[in-house]
Amino acid sequence: MLAATKILQRLPFFNRMFGVDAEDGLQEINSWPALMIASSFIWLAVAGLLGVAMPLIQRFELGSDLFYMALTAHGAALAFPFSFQLMAGISLHRAGGCVGKPITGVLPALIFICMNLGAALLTVAILLGFSVSLVVMYPLPVVGVATGQWSFNTLVLGFTGIALVLTMMIYLYPVQLLKMMFFGKKREDLILSERTLDDPGMLGMVIAALVLIVMGTPLMIIASYVLVALWGIIPLDVVAWATKPVVFQFAFFTFAHNLMEAMALMVISGIYATLPLYLADGTRELYSKRLANAALWILLITSFSSFFHHFITLLPNLPASLAYHGNIMSWGTGIGAALSIFTILATIWKHGLRKEPGIMIALMGFVIYVMDGASALVTSNVAWSFQLHGTMWQSGHTMTVLIAMSMMWIGVLYHHYPVMTGRTLSDKQGNWFMVLFTAGALGAGLVMLAGGAAGMPRRFADWAQGGWAVYGDLILVTGLLMAVGLIILAANFMKSRKLDEIPGSASAPEAAE
């Protein structure tokens, strides 16, 4: 029995939700992914509670320190150990079943340990006062020590946690994925639905893995130097070049932006792979592979340098030409998204759609993804960036993209769940989750964007200052809608029924495709 299976069996509640069958012959593609998925939902519970806590802290005036602590912990938990880890778990399972390669050995264990240990260390640092926000805001971590906001040891702890998380995202996970795609012996007994790189559903995964390695390496080099110096192994003077804010910030946002694009590529490929399985006429073909692949390539090419839009308001330190380049490249990603929209809608129109919760959840996630895309295009325009940068618009954009991608993955998980766990989920509860979570996510996104349009600052502990408290209240209401949806989803996982206990169940073979 794999270590991951044993850990899962010992996890209270989550063993009931994501425990895998050790005897079904698929443990090697199920166990580590299932453990990552279970762990991601634990982090989602943390992130969700903190998300609801933030407006309450402001409403009841519980203090700005507490607000910034909740803000940092919420963002960090939502983005990395939840959203990224959920993606890692489902995509590794998908890849395993498509190419017939096991997810076993040291690498998957390291992926799991680095992400969760790193996130735990960062959380402890945050609880000790390391409130630097999701994006670190370098050189704030160092300035915070100088101004007595947190201790040097807390900084070292926080950076160590971040380094572990980055190692998982930039190297361990992409290497595992590429290893499965290109190396090792194919095992027929692990193949659920064989696919090749000609398939848009597989191409996106490979592109995303490469993006993470290529665009993350500069940050890893810089972060490693800084961390080694913080540990006292080399003098800080030696890494002076790496500690310059302009160096760190540009390396950070080159990666952070492309991290989101890589996750988008990965999840769109997941939709391209899953949608055809739910077509009413049984064709199992996208409207056009050519158009689907073009969307992925356009998204890839335009996303590389669109990160300049993060620095538009640094004028003239970011030259106007690069600001406009970031503007145009960002709108270029919109062309890729437009092709994806057409591919998905034309596929559904041409072949009809089975109304099953998994694909519906994924499609509602896609709607939220498009809303996020529209908000991203607007704020990337140079003219609008000068009104929106630093406002709640940006938080709305970040939250929406993470929620959208996670929702699409939950839809894809719904599809893979029976083969992963040997159990099936309730359609009724799945539909309730879809309705409540979609309404909450759309509502929260629109409220945050509207708050930004009204000048409400992001990462700001005093919404009452500019009369923005009403937006905070609406964020709370919409957040609660999402929370209720997630509670229903959790109940659905808890009450999942074993396939062999359902008379005449056809779900197992179907899901295996």
Partner 1 sequence: MLESFYLTGWGAFGMMLFMLVPFMAVFFYVVLSKSYGDSSPSKAPQSSFVKMERAWIGLVIVVFVAVNIASIDFMPTTATAKAVASGEKITEVSFTAESWSFDLPETKIEVGKPIRFSGKSLDTMHGFAVYHPDGKVLFTMMLMPGLESPTSLIHTFKDAGTYTVRCLEYCGNSHHEMRDELVVVAAGS
Residue span binding partner 1 (CB under 8 A) among the ranges 97-105, 261-269, 352-360, 419-427: 352-360
Q: Does 435 sit near partner 1 (CB under 8 A)?
A: no
Residues 243 and 311 sit within 8 Å (Cβ to Cβ) = no
Q: Which secondary structure element, helix H or strand E, spans residue 437, and what is its range?
A: helix 427-453
Residue span binding partner 1 (CB under 8 A) among the ranges 98-106, 151-159, 220-228, 380-388: 380-388
For residue 230, give both structure tokens: 């913080």
Q: Does 169 sit near partner 1 (CB under 8 A)?
A: no
**What is the closest distance, in whole angstroms, from the C-beta atom of residue 344 to partner 1 in the complex?**
8
**Residue from 46, 157, 229, 339 in contact with partner 1 (CB under 8 A):** 339
User: 307 to each of 256, 275, 322, 380, how far by Cα in Å?
Assistant: 9, 30, 10, 9
16 or 350, CB closer to partner 1? 350
228 or 348, CB closer to partner 1? 348
Q: Does 287 sit near partner 1 (CB under 8 A)?
A: yes
A 10 A CB-CB count for 1 gives 11
**Residue from 3, 450, 470, 491 in contact with partner 1 (CB under 8 A):** 450
DSSP SS3 for 92: helix
**What is the closest distance, in whole angstroms, from the C-beta atom of residue 396 to partner 1 in the complex?**
10
Within 8 A by CB and 6+ apart from 447, the residues are 396, 471, 474, 475, 478
**Residue from 107, 228, 367, 508 in contact with partner 1 (CB under 8 A):** 367
**Residue from 147, 183, 189, 232 in contact with partner 1 (CB under 8 A):** 147
**What is the closest distance, in whole angstroms, from the C-beta atom of residue 254 to partner 1 in the complex?**
15
**Residue from 151, 387, 431, 507 in contact with partner 1 (CB under 8 A):** 387
32 or 468, CB closer to partner 1? 468
Q: Does 291 sit near partner 1 (CB under 8 A)?
A: yes
**What is the closest distance, in whole angstroms, from the C-beta atom of residue 264 to partner 1 in the complex?**
17
Q: Does 218 sit near partner 1 (CB under 8 A)?
A: no
Q: How far apart are the first and last CA of the chain?
A: 25
For residue 19, give both structure tokens: 């425990």
Q: What is the CA radius of gyration of the chain?
A: 22
**Residue from 45, 124, 228, 374 in contact with partner 1 (CB under 8 A):** 374
Residues 451-480 binding partner 1 (CB under 8 A) are 452-455, 457-462, 465-467
Q: Does 314 sit near partner 1 (CB under 8 A)?
A: yes
Handedness of CA 277, 278, 282, 287 (dihedral sign): negative
**What x/- string results for residues 188 through 217 when contact with partner 1 is judged by CB under 8 A?**
------------------------------
Tell me the residue length of the chain: 513
| Helical segments of 307-356, H only | 320-351
Q: Nearest-CA neighbor of 452 among 423, 435, 432, 475?
A: 475
11 or 328, CB closer to partner 1? 328
Q: Does 176 sit near partner 1 (CB under 8 A)?
A: no
CA gap 71, 60 in Å, rounded: 16
With CB under 8 A as the rule, give the number of residues binding partner 1: 88
CA gap 297, 464 in Å, rounded: 45
**Residue from 232, 235, 316, 504 in contact with partner 1 (CB under 8 A):** 316
Residues 388-417 binding partner 1 (CB under 8 A) are 388-391, 393
Give ∠ CA 167-171-176 in degrees, rounded to 5. 125
Residue span binding partner 1 (CB under 8 A) among the ranges 21-29, 259-267, 377-385, 492-500: 377-385
450 or 512, CB closer to partner 1? 450
How far is C-alpha 263 from the geometric centre of its chain's CA atoms?
A: 6
**What is the closest distance, in whole angstroms, from the C-beta atom of residue 97 to partner 1 in the complex?**
26
**Residue from 30, 83, 131, 496 in contact with partner 1 (CB under 8 A):** 131
**What x/- string results for residues 225 through 264 when contact with partner 1 is judged by CB under 8 A?**
-------------------xxx--x---------------
**Residue from 338, 439, 469, 491 in contact with partner 1 (CB under 8 A):** 338
Residues 36-65 binding partner 1 (CB under 8 A) are 64-65
DSSP letters along 26-72, please?
A: -HHHHHHHHHHHHHHHHHHHHHHHHHHHHHHHHHTT--HHHHHHHHH
**What is the closest distance, in whole angstroms, from the C-beta atom of residue 96 to partner 1 in the complex?**
30
Q: Nearest-CA neighbor of 47 among 112, 159, 126?
A: 126
**Residue from 62, 234, 236, 315 in contact with partner 1 (CB under 8 A):** 315
Q: Nearest-CA neighbor of 127 among 65, 45, 40?
A: 65
Residues 91-110 binding partner 1 (CB under 8 A) are none
**Residue from 46, 50, 103, 363 in contact with partner 1 (CB under 8 A):** 363
**Residue from 346, 469, 484, 487 in contact with partner 1 (CB under 8 A):** 346
The backbone region for 197, taken as left when phi is positive above 0, alpha when psi lies in -120 to 50, beta otherwise, is alpha
Residues 371 and 440 sit within 8 Å (Cβ to Cβ) = no
Q: Does 360 sit near partner 1 (CB under 8 A)?
A: yes
A 10 A CB-CB count for 232 gives 9
Q: Does 182 sit near partner 1 (CB under 8 A)?
A: no
Within 8 A by CB and 6+ apart from 78, the residues are 43, 44, 47, 51, 399, 402
